[in-house]
Amino acid sequence: MLDRNSPVGVLDSGIGGFSVVRQVQRLLPGEELIYFGDGAHVPYGNHREEEIVAMARYMFSFLESRKIKALLVACNTISCVVGQCRDAVSCPVFNAVQAGADAVAGIQADPVGVISTVFTHNSRIYPKKILERSPKKVVVLSCGCPDLAGLVEHSLGDPRGMDQVEEELRRELGPMVERDKIQCCVLGCTHYPLVADRIRRLYPELPLIDPAEEMARSLADYLERSDLAREGRGEGKLTIYTTGDVEEYTLRARQVGLERVDSVQFYPPMELCS
Ligand code: DGL
């Protein structure tokens, strides 16, 4: 039976969803969060659709077994296939792409730029969702970055890795800013807000949209409306499960400023048949 004390589930292919946890911890410090990052299979953006669905369903089922009261799909790539995973959990599901499109609907910008994984870019989901939500027709330009999520995942805090992040940003995002004159940029992969300072340094005039803020707000509204918000103020905790390297996750959680981390635990990865 779900109640106010039930946890909220958050998942991503890797550490990208930490950008969503950060916002949820700011807005809802009393909630208990269970995070699942599929470190063994990151990055998802270069996998085939059937694999992404299978790996996502594996994580959904794990979180369902933890009796979560809501699930945040803190991964844009999984958000593209969320319809194929939805039946694996019984609670409400909030996804990053919908949150990004909702955030764009609240501002006046045209053209809108989106940077994402190659999978999200190829799916064309952002232009479709933004146009569905925007009151007037806007031009949506998108680009897929093949290496950016992987670089952020493994090189946060490493100066050489961060130089490579900047190089990739210049190559992929640069033309949309300089040639196409985008008026804002949706960070359409949850790994990217973790290097927002680098993006701002390169393009200081460019407004950035982080879907994580909208996701946290939607979750807060839902919990309030359904009388499921946890009572008490700042005592919520965070348990992190990863199919990857526990030490690396512990370090990353600290680097991005996550609070009240109760434990970081290994969980066996799903076996992919090649
Ligand atoms: N953080 C993820 C996203 O929002 C996925 C990155 C990846 O695994 O390729 O798309």
Residue 274 lies in a domain: no
Candidates 119, 191, 192, 215: which one to mutate for ligand 1, based on the most atoms within 8 Å of Cβ? 191
> By the 8 A CB rule, do 22 and 261 touch?
no
**Residues 161 and 243 occupy one common structural domain:** no
Annotated catalytic residue, options 75, 85, 143, 145: 75
Q: Which atom of ligand 1 is nearest to the CA of 149?
A: 6
Number of domains, the chain: 2
Q: Which of 193, 210, 227 is the last residue of a domain?
A: 210
Which two three-digit tokens encode residue 221?
Answer: 């509204």
pLDDT of res. 181: 98
Residue 145 annotated in active site: no
pLDDT of res. 274: 62
Q: Indicate which CATH number applies to the domain containing 80.
A: 3.40.50.1860
Which residues 6+ apart lie within 8 Å of 160 measured at CB?
A: none
**Residues 124 and 185 occupy one common structural domain:** yes
pLDDT of res. 177: 98
Neighbours of 169 (CB within 10 A): 22
**Residues 147 and 188 occupy one common structural domain:** yes
Residue 176 lies in a domain: yes
**Residues 154 and 51 occupy one common structural domain:** no
pLDDT of res. 170: 97
Residue 80 annotated in active site: no
Query: Which residues in the chain land under pLDDT 70?
Result: 274
> By the 8 A CB rule, do 212 and 19 touch?
yes
What range defines the domain where residue 107 resides? 98-210
**Residues 163 and 36 occupy one common structural domain:** no
**Residues 91 and 226 occupy one common structural domain:** yes
